[in-house]
Amino acid sequence: MSFQSLVELAPWTTIAQICNLLLQMYLFKRFLFKPIQNILKKRQQEVDGLYDAANTARSEAEQSREDYERHLASAQDEAAAITARAAKAAQARADELVSSAKAEAASIRAKAEGDIQLERKKAVNDMKNEISDLAVEIASKVAEKEIDEKAHEALIGKFIDELGEPS
């Protein structure tokens, strides 16, 4: 083999090599590139599906969070309203109890004042009787005579009227 035979261009060998190259490219494309591209497309679709599912789940979670916050706000408003109603009812009940207690105290005070007036009149009457008895004794000792009971009571009544009634 000579150097020239190695460098020489043989037309049939070149055509066979080009055909061999074209055949290899066709086989690579058919059995290697297309399956690989199909696998890549499937993986891309899976990834896209996962992204879509994640975005859907994120939007659902966001919607659930907003619903929860709205529900929480309405629950807080409702709790505040219930608390306000309870406070108003408690205040009304307290006012009612206070007014009832005041009315009861006023009635007790009025009754006590009536009892005091009654006791005062009774004491005044008792005092009048004692004074009249004392006056009769004194008068009988001073005059040393018996005074008639009716005249004596009239005299004592006049004396007490002149002194004035105690208040």
Q: What is the pLDDT of residues 12-49, one digit of tens each?
A: 888 999 999 999 999 998 888 888 999 999 999 999 99
CA 103, CA 89: separation in Å to the nearest integer?
Answer: 21
Contact (Cβ atoms closer than 8 angstroms) between residue 147 and residue 140: yes
- Structure tokens given for 80: 């505040």
pLDDT tens profile 105-131: 999 999 999 999 999 999 888 888 887
Place of tokens 């004596």: 152
Give ∠ CA 85-89-95 in degrees, rounded to 5: 145
Residue 88 CA to its chain's centroid (Å): 12
